[in-house]
Amino acid sequence: MADEKKKLKEEKVKPLLTVCDASQEMIDKAKTDGVSLVFDRAEAMKPCPIGAEGSCCKNCSMGPCRLPAPKKKGEGEEKKRVGVCGATIETITARNFIRMIAGGAAAHSDHGRGVAEVFLAAAKGEIPGYGVKDEQKLYQLAMDFGVDVENLDTQEIAVKVGELALAEWGKQEGELVMAKRAPLKRQEVWRKLGVFPRGIDREIVEIMHRTHMGVDQDYKNLIAQGTRAALADGWGGSLLATDLQDILFGTPVPVRGSINLGVLKDDEVNIIVHGHEPLLSEMIVVASQEPELIKLAKSKGAKGINLAGMCCTANEILMRHGIPIAGNFLQQELAIVTGVLDAMIVDVQCEMQSIHDVAQCYHTEIITTSPKAKISGARHIEFEEHNPIATAKEIVTAAIENYPRRKGQGKIPSQKCDTVVGFSHETINYLLGGMFRASYKPLNDNIIGGRIRGIAGVVGCNNVRTTHDQAHLTLIKELIKNDVIVLTTGCAAMACGKAGLLLPEAAAKYAGSGLAEVCETVGIPPVLHMGSCVDNSRILIAASAVVKEGGLGDDISDLPAAGAAPEWMSEKAVSIGHYFVASGVYTVFGTTFPTTGCEVLTNYLFKGLEAELGGMWDFVEDPLEMAQKMIAHIDKKRKALGLDKARERVLYDMAMRREMEAV
């Protein structure tokens, strides 16, 4: 008995590392090569249980104060859990939670600021190679900012928009301009609660102030500031990043691409761009196609230059140029393990410092490019914002020069999968309504009629504490099987791509009959790839457009919709999750939840917020149960809209039709 228990326990501590065969192949190779990976380090270092539940405060040097929950229910509950300064467990977990929001909102928004600065310089004609690619979108943004589009030329409009957009970061009072794209009723909710964001930087700084020792010590008041900052991310920094990038580099339209480590080539110079900002990668795309550089590559014995992406940068250049994706977050070390990667170019966010160590075992050159993100020991070629093509050429040349240093035979996994990506809010509009009558009406009608049960946003990271890609795929397959159309971004989107879910053919294979019928008619996959993590703002805009189209209530919180990040790990995910909650969406996280150390706060986030914001958090480890809870929420919203009957009827129709077909 004891033996069996032990065996079970052993099995439990050794779950599958990944469901991605290409990744498993490289994990095995790393073992043979004697290379330590994130998977090995996770095994060697278990997470701190007190930190994982948010019960540790280190905001001053009288601590750190560790306030673990009582081991058994009831035990020690009469004793108030407080830190040395008297801060309660509610205060401590709330402070920790909103500091995560600050970290995430800062990452997205500082990315957005970088884009705004480059946009303004480009508008002034100061950056060769950059200009306005999407005029339509520029005019739209100009109107949001109240720029007089009638009497100015395109360049003047772009300069004005650039200046006004950049000013949103440092704004001290008033309301963020972009947040006015939300449905009117939603804006009223924010005003009533006093959480309408003022300026992007201000909200983030105020979190750091309020969470300093001895400042804000009321958990609800702390969470309200978290809400303000998260909204400043989603409806501010991220939305501006997306819009300005679209204007500069083009709004994505559906394009085919391929994904997984199998996109690497053994006879070409392989370059991976890894990170988040498309500013440099756009120019690396150009440089990698320059005839003189291709000639240089050939002179070194390579057949050409093969560029691929990783993490969110990959989503950006796949959506805009069809450049293949080598993999998602947990594959960054594995790409190096192939032994055929000549250079990995990184900018900011989600780059594990270990890529440098792994690269030491092979020949790969890690090149950092952002003054904000260096890696000790790695080569640094700083991105010259005012002459991006020169930097890009220098970097591509460095990669080419590294090609002859490949050591012995590499091994490239055979797996790669075709995908169709690039579903911006605009393309969904066109696809459904046609170029001249762009509209969400067909989508709304299909939701109202019940063919589509609802909408789910499934986004976020990989997390080494759970099986790579498994929760994403299990959850998403279950949702589409139940006629819920899925919008996806980030590393979740890449998991879908690798599993073939981003192909129109996936509808017939995986989707329920109602959703499959709609997908087949329009020619779209049941899972729509909407971009990188800052592009979660595209989901906000799509949701607002669905509300404005009519028939599904008058606020995002009325929609039969839900969100999830089953494998989240980064602070950015917390910010994204919280701006979805604050926009009225039921949002579920997997793996762990960072406030479970405090029941009062967790109850407030999971239940209390619904009454205030219409949206609320949840935490479910099992992806199938997660799907059930999301579907239950969608059904609850359908019922509130009086649409439960419609769906019953449609299901009956489908069943009848199948019966008729069978005859």
Whether a cis peptide bond, with omega within 30° of 0, leads into 128 is no
List C-alpha distances in Å: 130 to 242, 285, 309, 534. 16, 13, 21, 21
> How is 469-501 classified by DSSP, letter by letter?
THHHHHHHHHHHHTTEEEEE-HHHHHHHHHTTT
Binds 329, which of ligand SF4, ligand XCC, none (CB < 5 to 8 A, cut-off by type)?
ligand XCC
What is the rounded CA–CA span in Å between residue 465 and residue 597?
19
Binds 280, which of ligand SF4, ligand XCC, none (CB < 5 to 8 A, cut-off by type)?
none
Decide if 575 contacts 32 (C-beta within 8 A): no
- Does residue 93 interact with ligand SF4 by CB under 6 A? no
Measured from the CB atom, is 490 or 563 closer to ligand XCC? 490
Binds 570, which of ligand XCC, ligand SF4, none (CB < 5 to 8 A, cut-off by type)?
ligand XCC
Binds 147, which of ligand XCC, ligand SF4, none (CB < 5 to 8 A, cut-off by type)?
none
Q: Which stretch binds ligand SF4 (CB under 6 A): 54-62, 267-275, 582-590, 620-628?
A: 54-62
List C-alpha distances in Å: 610 to 374, 582, 618. 42, 9, 11
Binds 65, which of ligand XCC, ligand SF4, none (CB < 5 to 8 A, cut-off by type)?
ligand SF4
What is the rounded CA–CA span in Å between residue 660 and residue 217?
65
Decide if 538 contacts 242 (C-beta within 8 A): yes
What is the rounded CA–CA span in Å between residue 211 and residue 24?
42
- Does residue 109 interact with ligand XCC by CB under 6 A? no
- Does residue 589 interact with ligand XCC by CB under 6 A? no
Closest among 441, 527, 542 to 486, alpha carbons compared: 527
Other Cβ atoms less than 10 A from the Cβ of 203: the count is 27
- Does residue 405 interact with ligand SF4 by CB under 6 A? no
- Does residue 57 interact with ligand SF4 by CB under 6 A? yes
- Does residue 495 interact with ligand XCC by CB under 6 A? no
Measured from the CB atom, is 32 or 61 closer to ligand SF4? 61
Binds 85, which of ligand SF4, ligand XCC, none (CB < 5 to 8 A, cut-off by type)?
ligand SF4
Measured from the CB atom, is 181 or 276 closer to ligand XCC? 276
Measured from the CB atom, is 204 or 348 closer to ligand XCC? 348
What is the rounded CA–CA span in Å between residue 355 and residue 352?
6
Rg of the chain over Cα atoms, rounded to whole angstroms, equals 25
What is the rounded CA–CA span in Å between residue 329 and residue 331?
5
- Does residue 545 interact with ligand XCC by CB under 6 A? no
Decide if 451 contacts 534 (C-beta within 8 A): no
Q: Which stretch binds ligand SF4 (CB under 6 A): 45-53, 81-89, 184-192, 602-610?
A: 81-89
Q: Which stretch binds ligand SF4 (CB under 6 A): 84-92, 397-405, 551-559, 645-653?
A: 84-92
DSSP state of 70: P
Binds 58, which of ligand SF4, ligand XCC, none (CB < 5 to 8 A, cut-off by type)?
ligand SF4
518-537 residues in contact with ligand XCC (CB under 6 A) are: 533
200-219 residues in contact with ligand SF4 (CB under 6 A) are: 213
Place of tokens 């079970």: 8
- Burial classification of residue 79, based on how many CB atoms lie within 10 Å of its CB (0-12 exposed, 13-18 middle, 19 or more buried): exposed
Q: What is the CA 228 to chain-centroid distance, rounded?
A: 20
Decide if 395 contacts 343 (C-beta within 8 A): yes
Binds 87, which of ligand SF4, ligand XCC, none (CB < 5 to 8 A, cut-off by type)?
ligand SF4
- Does residue 329 interact with ligand XCC by CB under 6 A? yes
Measured from the CB atom, is 294 or 312 closer to ligand XCC? 312
Binds 356, which of ligand XCC, ligand SF4, none (CB < 5 to 8 A, cut-off by type)?
none
> CB 232 → ligand XCC: shortest distance, Å?
18
Q: Which of 18, 23, 55, 59 binds ligand SF4 (CB under 6 A)?
A: 59
Decide if 342 contacts 402 (C-beta within 8 A): yes
> CB 57 → ligand SF4: shortest distance, Å?
3
Binds 83, which of ligand XCC, ligand SF4, none (CB < 5 to 8 A, cut-off by type)?
ligand SF4
Measured from the CB atom, is 67 or 346 closer to ligand SF4? 67
> CB 328 → ligand XCC: shortest distance, Å?
6
* Beta strand spans in 157-312 (E): 255-259, 269-274, 305-310
List C-alpha distances in Å: 525 to 28, 65, 421. 33, 50, 9
Terminal-residue alpha carbon distance, the chain: 55
- Burial classification of residue 482, based on how many CB atoms lie within 10 Å of its CB (0-12 exposed, 13-18 middle, 19 or more buried): buried
Closest among 496, 514, 494 to 506, alpha carbons compared: 496
Supply φ then ψ for residue 326, to 5 degrees.
-80, -25
Binds 89, which of ligand SF4, ligand XCC, none (CB < 5 to 8 A, cut-off by type)?
none
- Does residue 497 interact with ligand XCC by CB under 6 A? no
- Does residue 312 interact with ligand XCC by CB under 6 A? yes
Measured from the CB atom, is 65 or 412 closer to ligand SF4? 65
- Does residue 35 interact with ligand XCC by CB under 6 A? no
What is the rounded CA–CA span in Å between residue 91 and residue 401?
55
Measured from the CB atom, is 159 or 573 closer to ligand XCC? 573
Supply φ then ψ for residue 564, to 5 degrees.
-155, 150
Q: Which of 29, 42, 52, 64 binds ligand SF4 (CB under 6 A)?
A: 64
- Does residue 38 interact with ligand XCC by CB under 6 A? no
Binds 62, which of ligand XCC, ligand SF4, none (CB < 5 to 8 A, cut-off by type)?
ligand SF4
Binding site for ligand SF4 (CB under 6 A): 57-60, 62-65, 83-85, 87, 92, 213
Binding site for ligand XCC (CB under 6 A): 276, 311-312, 329, 350, 460-461, 490-491, 533, 570, 572
